[in-house]
Amino acid sequence: MEKTPANIEIIEKYCKGCHICVEFCPTKVLEMKGFVASVKNLEACIKCMQCELRCPDFAIKVS
């Protein structure tokens, strides 16, 4: 895994608040803030891409 910190972009106008990314993130980086997903603990991100891969709405990008 690269050492550079992750950059997580959540496109709020696409997010439908399904909780999938929050639930299946192995290191609990994400949380729901109102109806949309939001980053709670960026340092814990291991860039596994699970959230980006699973989001049905093209609303989350990890780089």
Contact 5, 43 (CB under 8 A): yes
Buried b (16+ CB within 10 A) or exposed e, 26-54: eeebbebeeeebebeeeeebebbebbbee
Least distance from another protein to the Cβ atom of residue 20, Å: 6
Least distance from ligand SF4 to the Cβ atom of residue 38, Å: 9
Residue choice 37, 40, 43, 63 for contact with ligand SF4 (CB under 6 A): 37
Residue choice 5, 14, 41, 46 for contact with another protein (CB under 8 A): 14
- Which amino acid is located at 41 in the chain? N
Residue choice 5, 19, 33, 63 for contact with ligand SF4 (CB under 6 A): 19
